[in-house]
Amino acid sequence: MKPNKQSVRHFFTSQYIIFSIILTIKAVLMHGFLFHDFDFIKSFILEGCYILFLLGFVELLPSRAKSYGYFIADAIITTLFASIVLYVAYFNTVPTYFALFQLGQVSAISDSVLSLLNPLYLLMYIDIIILLVFKFSKKLPFPSARINKKGLRITAILSLAVAIAFFIYYKGVSIANPVLAAGDKGIFNYELLNIYKDPTAQVKPLSAKLTAQEINQKIDQIKGITIKQPSDRNMFGVAKGRNVIVIQMESFQNFLLNLKVDGQAVTPNLNKLLSQSLYFPHVYQQVGPGNTSDAEYMMNTSLFPQAYSATSISEGNRNYPSLPKVLKKQGYNTMTFHADELKFWNRDELYPALGFDHFYEKPVYGDKDNVGLGPSDDVLYSKGLDKLEKSSTPFYSMFISMSSHHPYKIPDAKKGLKLPSQYNQGKIVGDYLEAQHYTDAALGRFIQKLKDKGIWDHSIILFYGDHFGLDQHMFNNQDRALLKNLLGHSYTEADRYNIPFILSIPGVTHGEVNTVTGGQLDFLPTLTNLLGINIENQLVHFGQDLLNTTHNTIGMRYYMPQGSFINSSILFAPTRNFSDGTALDLKTKRAVSHNAMQQYKSDYDQVIALEKLSDAYVMSLPHEIKSSEKP
């Protein structure tokens, strides 16, 4: 029986079609906004076929429930799109379903996330607002007649067929850059392909029979290096038996050091410290989705963080061979200080898994002097100092600063810079400089107290940034101009990922600068060399001792596509693979020609091999017994 004109009209004016069109338009506009992909026909097909298929399930609901079903489906899919837009704005990468499951962490950084909200994002919800108005006025703009079920079935089947065809076609296409992959494949295809690939399921654990020494030999073989014997190493054991104090500075980038604004030093205390320390200016972040928690993880394990989810959440309860466990064998008392909730980023499982004896969280610090996300750095250091004084044995202590967290809003009473008027026109640079100036001031006060208490002279102190603070996506034109004036060149990806690494050993270091290229994986082996601990036979580590390294390639993941790396010459990022990648010359700040890049193919292969080996090693580790299950 042929459908009559009325049934056809009802079909094309039905809730099913209207909501499908609205949501597909949103998806198409999101493609243009995020990926600058204005092939609207491709985007319409890629996303629309899935939307038609998904809404087909709503159409199968009883008539009285359909309006509610469509409204809920609209709200859920719109929120998915909005979450992706906000995630890209904050992290500069497209989230997989792994990352979307971690959105519960957002509440702890709500101020940071809210600062990125654009009023235009609210337009995505305009249809939902209009529907609510109609609902309360009891005049829904849809026909109440039932639509042709045969037409619905045909539409849903065709939509699914098209979706499957695109899924199969794109399944074999490997694109390293997640933003490009999502733009080319479509949002729904991108998420499905990540579920299909399930990177964690594809990792084959290493044999439990392999020793740490054997795995380290595999790592050295991939890198093409030979590890020196302890007796031949530079500075081996010069800090033996000393207390260890690690200061992980929030969002702290290397360009801040020795930087002046209108004649004022942004970091006067750290600048002064450089003359008494060993400074590595060419060190880069290697964090993944876990950001600060990933930096803590690498400092204590020298293992790559996970690429698809925060390591502390997905793999935080494994029994890690770690720096705290190695130091405990040397008689050290191990402790970590963080003025946030211990459950944030699953640290309540991570810290025991890493082997810390003590971990001091938010309740220890009170709430009398809050800056940004919680208690100020001054409070953090003051409370921590009390614990250090009471330690009867050498200690390993880790301080996680937090006051300079995005969005970098410091109380007026704590601001120490007098910024020129043009910084009021910028969106974020001025706030960032003020926040880091406070970080430096609090650090200066802590250093003085350590000296006053007699702790400083008997310690080795490490300072480093956990990850970048300024992302190009945060800037307006005034911010770009301000940074260009401060740096003497346009702000680049290399500037973004460059963090400082400073080692201070009172009585030993006297203002040396080491220009070797390094990353966060290198901190652990560098520290153990100075402490006179040979870890080759007891601790698997993917970093290198920077004091005994002549060349180094730093693997990046998550914030850059898989296979990205930084060496002494270039910053490289693949597109689909190495052959169509791009590179930045670190000295000239200019693009590297395709021909000139070919000599670095071995660096690309090395990084991928090391990351795969690290993932396999982590997956081979047994799970730690949860604290609630311990006797």
pLDDT tens, residue by residue, 226-239:
999 999 999 999 99
65 falls in which pLDDT band (50, 70, 90)?
A: confident
192 falls in which pLDDT band (50, 70, 90)?
A: confident
pLDDT tens, residue by residue, 279-328:
999 999 999 888 899 999 999 999 999 987 788 888 888 999 999 999 99
Number of other CB atoms surrounding residue 70 within 10 Å: 24
pLDDT tens, residue by residue, 479-491:
999 999 999 999 9
| 292 has binding-site annotation | yes
What's residue 58's pLDDT? 81
Amino acid sitting at position 334: T
Catalytic residue among 93, 292, 336, 509: 292
Task: Provide mean pLDDT across the span 57-72.
Answer: 81
Task: Provide mean pLDDT across the span 324-346.
Answer: 90
Alpha carbons 458 and 470: distance in angstroms, whole number: 35
- SS3 assignment, position 330: coil
> Can you give the C-alpha Rg of the chain in angstroms?
27
- Measure Cα distances from 285 to 165, 200, 378, 574 in Å: 40, 23, 25, 18
630 falls in which pLDDT band (50, 70, 90)?
A: very low
CB 245 within 8 A of CB 446: no
Select, from the ranges 17-21, 50-54, 342-346, 384-388, the one with the highest average predicted confidence (pLDDT). Answer: 384-388
| 553 has binding-site annotation | no
What's residue 144's pLDDT? 47
pLDDT at 624 > cutoff 90: no
As given in the structure block, the two tokens for residue 501 are 């690494």
Alpha carbons 560 and 550: distance in angstroms, whole number: 25
Query: Phi and psi of 8, rounded to 5°?
Result: -65, -45
Does 301 participate in catalysis according to the annotation?
A: no
As given in the structure block, the two tokens for residue 29 are 């506009």
pLDDT tens, residue by residue, 425-466:
777 999 999 999 999 999 999 999 999 999 999 999 999 999
Task: Provide mean pLDDT across the span 140-153.
Answer: 52
What's residue 310's pLDDT? 83
Report yes or no on whether pTM surpasses 0.85: no
What's residue 322's pLDDT? 97
- Measure Cα distances from 149 to 7, 9, 17, 146 in Å: 10, 14, 13, 8
- Rounded to the nearest angstrom, the gap between the alpha carbon of residue 549 and the centroid of all alpha carbons in its chain is 27
The helix, strand and coil proportions of the chain, stated in percent and rounded to the nearest 5, come to: 55, 10, 35
Comparing CA positions, the residue from 23, 142, 14, 28 lying closest to residue 72 is 23
pLDDT at 530 > cutoff 90: yes
DSSP-assigned letter for residue 229: P
Task: Provide mean pLDDT across the span 167-173.
Answer: 51
What's residue 381's pLDDT? 97
DSSP-assigned letter for residue 105: G
- Rounded to the nearest angstrom, the gap between the alpha carbon of residue 132 and the centroid of all alpha carbons in its chain is 37
151 falls in which pLDDT band (50, 70, 90)?
A: low
Residues ≥6 apart with Cβ < 8 Å to 625: none
What's residue 198's pLDDT? 58
503 falls in which pLDDT band (50, 70, 90)?
A: very high
pLDDT tens, residue by residue, 244-291:
999 999 999 999 999 999 999 999 999 999 999 999 999 999 998 888
What's residue 64's pLDDT? 78
Comparing CA positions, the residue from 515, 536, 511 lying closest to residue 525 is 536
Beta bridge partners of 499: 283
| 536 has binding-site annotation | no
What's residue 22's pLDDT? 87
What's residue 565's pLDDT? 97
Task: Tell me what the pLDDT averaged over the chain comes to.
Answer: 85
What's residue 628's pLDDT? 40
pLDDT tens, residue by residue, 350-405:
999 999 999 998 888 888 888 877 899 999 999 999 999 999 899 999 999 999 98
In order of their start, the domains of the chain are 5-197 (no CATH), 218-309+377-382+396-441+458-629 (3.40.720.10)
Number of other CB atoms surrounding residue 280 within 10 Å: 25
Query: Phi and psi of 584, rounded to 5°?
Result: -115, 130
